[in-house]
A and B are shown apart, each in its own frame.
Chain A
Amino acid sequence: MTRDSLITSENDVDIGLEFEGLEDEVDTFQEEHERERHRGKRRDGERAKKKKRGNGEGRKRASRAGQEDEKLQARGEKKGRRKRSSSDQQAEGREGDEAEQPTTKSSKAAKTRKNVKNEKTRKVEKEEKEDEADDEERNAKRKNKHGSNKKEEIVEEGNKHTVREKAGEVKKKKHKKVVETSSEKETSEEEDNEEEDSEEKEVRPETLTPEELEALKEAVDERKKLIQGLRGKPWAMKKKLVTLRESQEFVEKYEGALGKGKGRKLYAYKVMMTKKWMKFKRDFENFKTACIPWEMKIKEIESHFGSSVASYFIFLRWMYGINMILFCLTFGLVMVPEALMGRPYGTIPRKTVPRAEASSAMDFAVLWDFGGYAQYSVLFYGYYNNQRAIGWLKFRMPLSYFLVGVGTVAYSYMVVIRTMARNANESGVGDDNSFNFSWKMFTSWDYLIGNPETADNKFASITTIFKEAILEEQESRKDDNIHLTRFLRVLANFLVLCCLAGSGYLIYFVVRRSQKFALDGLENHTWWERNEVNMVMSLLGMFCPMLFDVISALENYHPRVALQWQLGRIFALFLGNLYTFIIALMDEINLKREEENIVKFNITTWEASLYNISASENSTAPPVTIQPADVPRGPCWETMVGQEFVRLIISDTMTTYITLLIGDFLRAVLVRFLNYCWCWDLEAGFPSYSEFDVSGNVLGLIFNQGMIWMGAFYAPCLPALNLLRLHVSMYLQCWAVMCCNVPQERVFKASGSNNFYMAMLLVILFLSTLPAIYTIVTIPPSFDCGPFSGKKRMFDVIQETLESDFPAWFSKVFSYASNPGLVLPFILLMVLAIYYLQSTSKSYKEANVDLKKKLQTQNEENKKKNKLAALKAQVDLEEARKAASPSAEHQKNNNASPDQEADEEEDRGRSQRMYHSKNGRSPPPPRHDGHLPATRAPVPRNYPHGNQGSAGYLPGFPRESEARMHRVPSLQRH
């Protein structure tokens, strides 16, 4: 109230011109806010006053509108254009209107002012008088209203001064009308207003009073809010863009104007710095994206082939990162220290090529097989010395070797599990089944596709998905084919199991036979028989997936699910192969250990004889120096295992690349160039171009990684080799995909498959660490090679370190800590903690689902409420129409109730109201709540020839509403 009175007094004083435009603006932008406050006040039980005020206001408005519109006309009518159509037809009704004016309401008046274009000056003068007479009423009203109202007053004062001001007021009034009649067009009008205002007016912030500054600030905030929430608004895109631009311009313009003097400068500086900082952050983000390796390549592939193919490459990149770390660990902590600080090549037997092999040690065939010099180098386990500390750094080599071996595995576990957990979080809890068609409708497009051909494919696949889904829905209603599908799925799994069992038996059979051959001596057998195991394994690995693919067509799964099944099956197959390989390796290890025992015995006798010889020849002579190459040595099974793995990796890589070149590239070349002279269409017909085999490639990658984890302990070079392989295959496969493959016929999103890969990786990690740990724990290391030679078990190195490198108390503490009495409770505690965490996460999940449900029900309730409100409003409207005849007084009372209705609805929240009115879902209520008051005024206009009063009212209504219906879209077009 104080503020209001202050304003009133201010109002009496002459007000400068410069205020006006600004206030106009503020008014425009603040309207929503103000209206709400204003309504709140109104509802505070001042009905009578309201009536009165409305009355006065209405008259005043009409009058002013009269003046101004005339002025406007004189000025060439900047914005009157769209009003004209309606005003022309209503102009004739003016007289009747005037007669009725005392009974009309405020918003009606707002309407009437539209038709004043052809108005007589006589009427204007009369109204001017009326205006003056109304002054007192206005003052009373002013106490209720504030903000916008105040500005209105101010403007009115200024009105008498210049044309300019009047134009401004017209704008504002138009805006006022908008607020009261219907919210549908308010934004567009707002924009119009603003545009014109910003053209005409100039703001001088120095001259602003604190109140106005406050208001301006609020307006700026409002705009900012609008910009933020614009994305969620149910408007047309064009409108959004326009609003955004306008708001941004406004904020830009007035943000700096806030604050005074020093504060203002500081504020402007702050704003500027914020902008700069934002820009920098954005640039930095861009830079970060540019730094991600192969990002562009993968994006390109994604755009051509959809996300399922891209997911493979992303997985490959992730794998590359992991291997980079593994490589850094082994290279930095094992290989480099040994190469730099360890004893050089040729100093001790384990670092020298034996005499027998020396002649062929540099042959390419031998090196390719990782024998010769490659075997006696840092690449393999056997080269490392069991010297406890090496070099001037006193680097604990054996300890480092052991810890790196354990650390790589531990790190891999950690990373895989962490990634899995993160992915699981991202996937969230979605009940995908409940809105099947909506999901398909709104989420099936893959927005990353940038290639027209793929887009066509995707389009086709979506169409088929819809067809299938509809068929499925029909069938599920019919409910008879589900048994057939189930039967087919079971049958398919049975067939696959048979296939797996068959291949497993075949491999087992072949391995048994090869052991027999090995006992006989490999030289007696043909090349085919010698390479039988490898051949059979690779053949089965090649053909069985094809068969699985064919069988999976029976199951009729969604391709994403089908891919997972396919992956699982191939996984089982490969696992069988891998474990056969490991079993064969174990046998070989046992053989080597037997050999080692014999060698050990021989060496003791050899040494004894050596000693005897030297002793007998010359007891005083220095001990004979023997070339390290001549010293007999054990078979060193660890190096053998490492070699096997390295060979396996190499041959696997070779196979992959050769398959890529022949199966994809050569095929593509043939199809492309033979097509000119072939009898059928090679491209569309039989051989065609190949599709990218996601499942096969992913599995290849995963199994490759499994072999790395298994063999890295015995061959420190493996991570390096793998890094090389991954690097090459990244480029090669990217190229091959882009150059020789066609997009899959059923392009699908791979959003859910990443975690599936991870799960498989975890399983493989576990399965590959099992044999490694088994060998480390159970088999004693070789006596004359490797960092752990001479120890009983490899992990004794820890104990040794504890004893000799740490103080006594530490080893004591450690021994206590490793006491089963302590370890077991600890494990128990861990299990309990895990159980607790799991159960809490479960309950959170449930809570999430509950919240979701709550949201849904709330939405539904809101909808119902809105509907009810609309219905009630309609009923009231009907009543109002019926009661229109009796008397003006009565009519007013009726009006009050729907108005209140509208108020309440408004209070429920702005967004809701917007939703209600903007998206046109329930046209009657919005038209009603703003429209009802407006409808009353124009009625007489439609019936110009003295048809005033009750009789003409009822039939007039529909015509009026029609006119409005036409007007609304035309407004929104701007």
Chain B
Amino acid sequence: MVSPAIALAFIPLLLTVLIRCRFYFVLFYRAVLVRIWRDCVTGLSREERAYQYVLTHATPGDPDSILDAFDVWCSKVEFISTIGPKKGKVLDRMLMEQSPLTVLELGSHCGYTTVRIARSLPLGARLYSVEMDQRNAAIAEKIIRLAGFDDDTVELIVNPSDEVIPRLRSEYGLERLDFVFMDHWKKCYLPDLQMLEGTGLLGKGSMIVADNVLFPGAPKFLRYIRKSGLYEWKVHRATLEYSRGIRDGMAELVFQGIK
């Protein structure tokens, strides 16, 4: 029989763990518990609820207002994993510097990042957005159109990324990708990157940006780019979107080719 005093001695440990991981607990509560509860109550999926909120709170045709509405919903109402305003600014800056003409986005989810990228593209640029999930793609489509981007600017491809990438050259007639943004399944980062290398769409100076490389994290991806030598890379350290205490990073890769 363990004495109660020994059990009491563990209280500091418990407190420490609680305080250390409080952000993770909050995240768990917001992203999982609230979601399940709201799903049961409303009968709608999370993305649909977000769309409803945006529809009622944003000005149609104004990408900024739509993004703001998204940010408010994600930070105040529920949690949805987008790029978030802070890392979004970094992304904006990179796009401004690069001003790419052909952009590939892997994982558009419900269109927040798509709108964000499309907003800062130069005239005549084209964004291909790949989304695997049918329902999310429908929402994303609506959001993109709501923001005022037509088919010429943004093309939504509803297919898994590993099927889309080999066909990019043949079906979509792409010669070169200037900018690739990855925010889909973290496990797919590495295979998709290798596939992109294989297609030869990446030229010298093409930029690849991968979100959430530290949390939830894509260690294999990071290890690969560290070793491969094809890229100049750095990780922009930030916190997870809509959360203060969880550290996350965005990897920025510039394709250098074989020297």
Of B1, B5, B13, which is within 8 A of A506 by CB? B5
B216 on the A face (CB < 8 A): yes
CB closest chain-A residue, reference B22: A550
B235 to chain A, nearest CB (A): 9
> Which of A24-32, A228-236, A405-413, A531-539 lines the interface with chain B?
A531-539
> Which of A90-98, A471-479, A678-686, A758-766 lines the interface with chain B?
A678-686
CB closest chain-B residue, reference A684: B214
B2 on the A face (CB < 8 A): yes
Residues in chain A near residue B10, CB distance under 8 A? 539, 543
| Beta-carbon contact of B216 and A680 below 8 Å | yes
A403 on the B face (CB < 8 A): no
Of A539, A678, A684, which is within 8 A of B6 by CB? A539
| Beta-carbon contact of B16 and A543 below 8 Å | yes
| Beta-carbon contact of B219 and A675 below 8 Å | yes
B156 to chain A, nearest CB (A): 30
Residues in chain B near residue A749, CB distance under 8 A? none
Of A513, A539, A544, most buried by chain B (CB within 10 Å of CB) is A539
Residues in chain A near residue B3, CB distance under 8 A? 528-529, 532
CB closest chain-A residue, reference B6: A535
B93 on the A face (CB < 8 A): no
A608 on the B face (CB < 8 A): no
A547 on the B face (CB < 8 A): yes
Of A499, A513, A685, which is within 8 A of B12 by CB? A499
| Beta-carbon contact of B2 and A506 below 8 Å | no
Residues from 24 to 46 in B contacting A, C-beta threshold 8 Å: none
B258 on the A face (CB < 8 A): no
Residues in chain A near residue B8, CB distance under 8 A? 506, 536
A109 to chain B, nearest CB (A): 59
| Beta-carbon contact of A528 and B2 below 8 Å | yes
**Contact A532:B6 (CB < 8 A) given known A681-B219, A685-B214:** yes
A673 to chain B, nearest CB (A): 14
Residues in chain A near residue B1, CB distance under 8 A? 526, 528
A642 to chain B, nearest CB (A): 29
Residues in chain B near residue A550, CB distance under 8 A? 15-16, 19-20
A431 to chain B, nearest CB (A): 36
B222 on the A face (CB < 8 A): yes
A547 to B13, CA, bound (A): 7
A536 to B7, CA, bound (A): 9
Residues in chain A near residue B215, CB distance under 8 A? 685
| Beta-carbon contact of B217 and A680 below 8 Å | yes
| Beta-carbon contact of B12 and A546 below 8 Å | yes
B9 on the A face (CB < 8 A): yes
Residues in chain A near residue B217, CB distance under 8 A? 680-681, 684-685
Residues in chain A near residue B219, CB distance under 8 A? 675, 678, 680-685
| Beta-carbon contact of B6 and A547 below 8 Å | no
A654 to chain B, nearest CB (A): 20
A540 on the B face (CB < 8 A): yes
A510 on the B face (CB < 8 A): yes
A503 to B5, CA, bound (A): 10
B246 to chain A, nearest CB (A): 11
A549 to B20, CA, bound (A): 10
B contact residues, total (Cβ < 8 Å): 22
| Beta-carbon contact of B9 and A536 below 8 Å | yes
A457 to chain B, nearest CB (A): 13
A549 to B19, CA, bound (A): 11
A509 on the B face (CB < 8 A): yes
A740 to B151, CA, bound (A): 55
Residues in chain B near residue A685, CB distance under 8 A? 214-215, 217, 219
A540 to B8, CA, bound (A): 9
| Beta-carbon contact of A546 and B6 below 8 Å | no
A584 to chain B, nearest CB (A): 15
A209 to chain B, nearest CB (A): 70
Residues in chain B near residue A684, CB distance under 8 A? 214, 217, 219, 222
Residues in chain B near residue A678, CB distance under 8 A? 219
A682 to B72, CA, bound (A): 33
Residues in chain A near residue B6, CB distance under 8 A? 528, 532, 535-536, 539
A546 to B17, CA, bound (A): 9
CB closest chain-A residue, reference B19: A550
CB closest chain-B residue, reference A683: B219
A931 to B63, CA, bound (A): 65
**Contact A546:B16 (CB < 8 A) given known A681-B214, A681-B217, A684-B214:** yes
> What mask results when residues 69 to 87 of chain B are scored 1 for a CB within 8 Å of chain A, else 0?
0000000000000000000
A509 to B9, CA, bound (A): 12
B15 to chain A, nearest CB (A): 6
| Beta-carbon contact of A681 and B16 below 8 Å | no
| Beta-carbon contact of A547 and B214 below 8 Å | no
| Beta-carbon contact of B12 and A543 below 8 Å | yes
B226 to chain A, nearest CB (A): 12
CB closest chain-A residue, reference B213: A681
Of A526, A540, A549, which is within 8 A of B9 by CB? A540
Residues in chain B near residue A506, CB distance under 8 A? 5, 8-9
> What mask results when residues 259 to 278 of chain A are scored 1 for a CB within 8 Å of chain B, else 0?
00000000000000000000
B211 to chain A, nearest CB (A): 15
A552 to chain B, nearest CB (A): 11
Residues from 665 to 683 in A contacting B, C-beta threshold 8 Å: 675, 678, 680-683
B251 to chain A, nearest CB (A): 12
CB closest chain-B residue, reference A540: B9
A536 to B2, CA, bound (A): 12
A547 to B218, CA, bound (A): 31
A532 to B1, CA, bound (A): 12
A515 to chain B, nearest CB (A): 14
> What mask results when residues 542 to 568 of chain A are scored 1 for a CB within 8 Å of chain B, else 0?
011011011100000000000000000
Residues in chain B near residue A528, CB distance under 8 A? 1-3, 6
B11 to chain A, nearest CB (A): 8
Question: What are 9 of the A-B contact pairs (CB < 8 Å)?
Answer: A503-B12, A528-B6, A532-B5, A535-B6, A536-B6, A539-B10, A547-B13, A681-B219, A683-B219
Further contacts, 15 of them, CB under 8 A, given A510-B5, A685-B217: A499-B12, A528-B2, A532-B3, A532-B6, A536-B8, A540-B9, A543-B10, A550-B19, A675-B219, A678-B219, A681-B217, A681-B219, A681-B222, A684-B219, A684-B222
Closest A-B pairs by Cβ, 7 of them? A681-B219, A539-B9, A543-B12, A547-B12, A543-B13, A546-B16, A550-B19
